[in-house]
Amino acid sequence: MFACLYAPDCTQEQLLALASSFSPLVEDTARGVVIFSIVGLGKLIGTPQQIAAAIARGGAEAGMQANLAISADPDTAVLAAHHLRGITLIPPGREADRLGEFPVYVLGSFLKGADPEFLETLERWGVHTLAELAALPELGFIARFGEAGVRCLRLARGETRRSLRVMASPENYQRSIELEHPQRLLEPLLFVIASLLNELMEALARQGLATNRVTLGLTLQKHSEHRRTLEFPIPVRDSKVILKQLQFDLEAHPPQAAIVGVQVRLNPVEPRVLQHGLFLPQAPAPEKLQLTLARLTALMGENNVGSPELIDTHRPDAFVMRAFSSEGTVGLHQSFTTQPATIRFAFRYYRPALSAQVRTEAERPISVNAQPVVTFAGPWRASGDWWTDTPWSRDEWDIELSNGGLYRVYQASSHWYLEGMYD
């Protein structure tokens, strides 16, 4: 059974509040119209008449003037509430009888997108009331009017029997807990975080969502707070992946005092939908890759794990480390056609550059760190960034030493450095 409240003079919030006080299943149908399920209220309140009286009392206490209709069919309840004043109870199976006296134009609000001449056609046919419409032969009517015809006939007969478009309650993806005793150890803390996280991930899963950001707030003794936020390049639905990353993060950034409260908040996003290609090469599974990258970062240190990106400058060894992701790079491979045939050497850096003892003769290097120079090329003068606070300038030499290695040395600010080796 469904109840419909029609009150064009009340605010929508008032209507929704009244409906929500009786049922969690509420449809915000239109301005001034709400439908809600009253199934189950029989045990709490009693007969449909008693339920209607209770709703009417609730409306009166809120200072509302509204029409109320109760029916087994939600659209019948809407039509009755819209066009019949006061309280209307329509017993199951009597919908067509109760709606029969209504003129056909009351269906106008239900026929959005249908042929605008539909109602005029009915008038020309001599069909003036819903009872006359309901009596028409179904197959012939549908043949002439199609889907709109089906809907009209069902409305007139009170047989739509649709489900409510229930409003999704604004879910708060945040959980917190206060600890009975201050906690200093990571392992028991992770146990608490895991329970909150599982609860949140279940709430996300119920709404078909995933998360791309988790914020962990730890309330510390002396009322300070330790807050960490982790961003994920792709939406995650596995609580174990998040928990492990939180563990690595807390190990790298431990709180400075004992913990008395834990708060976990997730940012809900639509989950990732991906169609894999049959002939594409394999790529690391994103969830597993995130975990691996977190482990690698914990092992090697931040900024030592990622994908290098060259910077548009002549400054030597200029690059930035970007986060590595297996997403969104597959399509690039086909267009990447640089052929390496002409490149016949690679360079290996010493980071940082090693200080070198270079002996020169007639401004040419003759030995590096006491090793005689066999061949050399240079100097190659380079400079840049003179318009910034960090200008650089140097003379480079390519030098083959007697040990068989070919190195790059440079002189900057009257000091010599061994930058790396050609290999």
Partner 1 sequence: MEDFPRGAISEVFGAVSCGKTALLHRLLAKASTCGDFCAVVDSQGAFDPLSASEAGVNLRSLLWIRGNARIENAFKAADLILHSGGFGVVVLDLCEAPLRDLNRIPLSYWYRFRLAIENTPTKLIVTGDRPLVKSCARVQLEVKRERFLWRGPVFEGISFEAESRKHYARLAG
State both tokens at 27: 């449809």
Q: Does 370 bind partner 1 (CB under 8 A)?
A: no
Which region, judged by CB under 8 A, interacts with partner 1, from 16-24, 88-96, 113-121, 294-302? 294-302
388 touches partner 1 by CB under 8 A: no
The distance of closest approach from Cβ of residue 337 to partner 1 in the complex, given in angstroms and rounded to an integer, is 7
Residues 318-357 as x/- pattern, contact with partner 1 by CB under 8 A: -x-x--x-x--xx-xxx-xxxxx--xxxxxxxxx------
**Binders of partner 1 in range 212-231 (CB under 8 A):** none
Cis peptide before 352 (omega within 30 of 0): yes
Size of the site for partner 1 (CB under 8 A): 59
Residue pointed to by tokens 């993060």: 249
The residues, ordered by sequence, that sit 6+ positions from 29 with a Cβ below 8 Å of its Cβ are: 4, 35, 78
C-beta of 132 vs 395, nearer to partner 1: 395
Q: Rounded to whole angstroms, how far apart are CA atoms 275 and 230? A: 27
Closest of 29, 53, 30 to residue 41, by C-alpha: 53
CA nearest 95: which of 2, 152, 159? 159
User: Which one of 61, 178, 187, 309 is in contact with partner 1 (CB under 8 A)?
Assistant: 309
Q: Are strands 2-6 and 26-30 parallel, antiparallel or unpaired?
A: unpaired
CA angle 86–92–94, rounded 5-degree value: 75
276 belongs to the binding site for partner 1 (CB under 8 A): no
CB nearer to partner 1: give 152 or 305. 305
Which of 138, 231, 317, 385 binds partner 1 (CB under 8 A)? It is: 317
> Which residue shows structure tokens 């064009």?
8
402 touches partner 1 by CB under 8 A: no
The residue range among 42-50, 140-148, 290-298, 361-369 that interacts with partner 1, by the rule CB under 8 A, is 290-298
Pick from 144, 227, 253, 288: which binds partner 1 (CB under 8 A)?
288
What SS3 state is found at 405? coil
The residues near 284 (Cβ < 8 Å, ≥ 6 apart) are: 292, 326
Least separation in angstroms between residue 19's CB and partner 1 is: 51
Q: How far is the CB of 251 from partner 1 (least distance, A)?
A: 15
**Would you call 14 helix, strand, or coil by DSSP?**
helix
CB of residue 239 to partner 1, shortest distance in Å: 19
How many angstroms separate the CA atoms of 19 and 165, rounded? 14
> Considering the rule CB under 8 A, would residue 295 count as an interface residue with partner 1?
yes
The answer to whether 216 and 264 have CB atoms below 8 angstroms apart is: yes
Chain residues that interact with partner 1, rule: CB under 8 A: 280-285, 288-289, 291-292, 295-296, 299-301, 304-310, 317, 319, 321, 324, 326, 329-330, 332-334, 336-340, 343-351, 375, 377-378, 398, 400, 403-406, 420-423
